[in-house]
Amino acid sequence: MIDDAVIGEGTVVRQPDMVNIYRCSIGKDCKIAAFVEIGEGVIIGDRCKIQAFCFIPWGVSIGNDVFIGPNVVFTNVKYPPSPKSEWLKTVVEDEVSIGASASILSGITIGKGAFIATGAVVTKDVPPGALVAGVPARISKRSTK
């Protein structure tokens, strides 16, 4: 179901009857796979690719040229169930890659060009260009750019 979403030119939603996209903004030239849920108020930039079975709730903002692998889950509360007043915002900056089955906890920022390894559980901010892996995710490498 696509409900009142603003979807940019050239964006492709695979099997639109198998997604839940609610009152959000998706940029141009994005690719959204089946079985994805994108919540109200989410902002997704241009040229992003979101693989199957991802969950992106209210409070998440995703930059341009971001890759999100299958089964990635974002959260927006630390201790559910919580009233909306306790929900936290999460920011994913441009050119980030998030590997399959990663979990991104609420209230953090993932810096430009960072790489989140498969299965990582991200519990705190990730600096630009860093590679994080593990549970909880720790920096294993920094970009030399």
**pLDDT per position as a tens digit, 1-21:** 787 788 889 899 988 889 999
- Per-residue pLDDT, 144: 52
Q: Enter the tokens of residue 30.
A: 């994005």
CATH (domain of 137): 2.160.10.10
User: SS3 for 40-96, per residue?
Assistant: CCCEECCCCEECCCCEECCCEEECCCCEECCCCEECCCCCCCCCHHHCCCEEECCCC
Count of domains for the chain: 1
- Phi and psi at 15, nearest 5°, equal 45, 65
Average pLDDT, integer, range 55-77: 96
What average pLDDT does this structure show over 92-120?
97
pTM, entire model: 0.92
Domain that holds residue 27: 2-141
Question: What pLDDT band is residue 109 in, cutting at 50, 70 and 90?
Answer: very high
Burial-class residue 55 by CB neighbours within 10 Å (0-12, 13-18, 19+).
middle
